[in-house]
Amino acid sequence: MKLPKISVVIPSYNKVKYIQETLDSIFDQKYENLEVIIQDGGSTDGTLKIIKDYLYEHPNIIKLESKRDNGQLDAINKGLKKSTGDIITFINADDVYEKDSFKLVANNYIENTDILWFVGKGRVINEMGNEIVKLVTIYKNMLLKCNNFKRLLITNYLMQPSVFLTKKALTKYGLFCGTEYFVMEYEMWLKIGKDKMPVVIDKYLSKFRIESSTKTKRLFNEILENDEEIVKKYTKNIFVLILHKFNNLGRKIIGNII
């Protein structure tokens, strides 16, 4: 059977320090049916030079647009609109995929063509590429093994770059929403999960980077506050809402440490 096409959207802006590692992690997959859509916000730090080197090597795979946009959310949604894959995902220009991630997702897709989305495990790394907050990863992996909608309401245990949507899901549920400053992918996870939870791939698919300049670090408290408002759209269960607040308190404590 022909491998399903995978579309990877990369929102990019002044990520010269990491973009090569991100792109290497994609092309080192050696996946044969691939589309890479890079939405660059007009980088001025050398990011574009690196991207264009890859574009020269992979002209039939990479689609590049570089011009001023309205931030990460705008870039992601523009890229998603251009995507033509059976499986679609986005990764930030400082995160990386683990070896053979695409083959694992593709094989699960072939076996579950009626499924809307897939998720695997993910590690958290710092700016040097070293794994951090390992206890958080263990906790999220434990919840992933018991994957259900109520647990997802209690806390967002899905690692964003380890989430892969199908074209069917994107068509049915639309694009991502968010604010001027960050993407609220958690709302997308709840929107789809309310109908059908993802197939869990019990392997590490990605590494999510946290360093001082990332929005995840700078706007952490605001992100958690938005998460709480999102959850209220999907449940009125007081017990679930209390547990969500309790988990957010733990995340705040950890977020202030790293």
**pLDDT tens figures, 99-118:** 999 999 999 999 988 899 99
The pLDDT, as a whole number, for residue 213 is: 63
CATH numbers and ranges of domains, the chain: 6-135+159-209 (3.90.550.10)
Stated pTM of the model: 0.94
The pLDDT, as a whole number, for residue 215 is: 57
Mark out the alpha helices in 84-205 (DSSP H runs). Answer: 101-111, 134-145, 149-154, 167-173, 185-193
The pLDDT, as a whole number, for residue 224 is: 87
* Residue 195 burial (10 A CB sphere; 0-12, 13-18, 19+): exposed
Distance, in Å, from the CA atom of 30 to the CA atom of 45, rounded to the nearest integer, reads 28
Q: Which amino acid is at 132?
A: I
The pLDDT, as a whole number, for residue 211 is: 80
**Do 82 and 167 touch, CB atoms closer than 8 A?**
no
Positions in the chain short of pLDDT 50: none
The pLDDT, as a whole number, for residue 257 is: 58
The pLDDT, as a whole number, for residue 256 is: 64
The pLDDT, as a whole number, for residue 216 is: 57
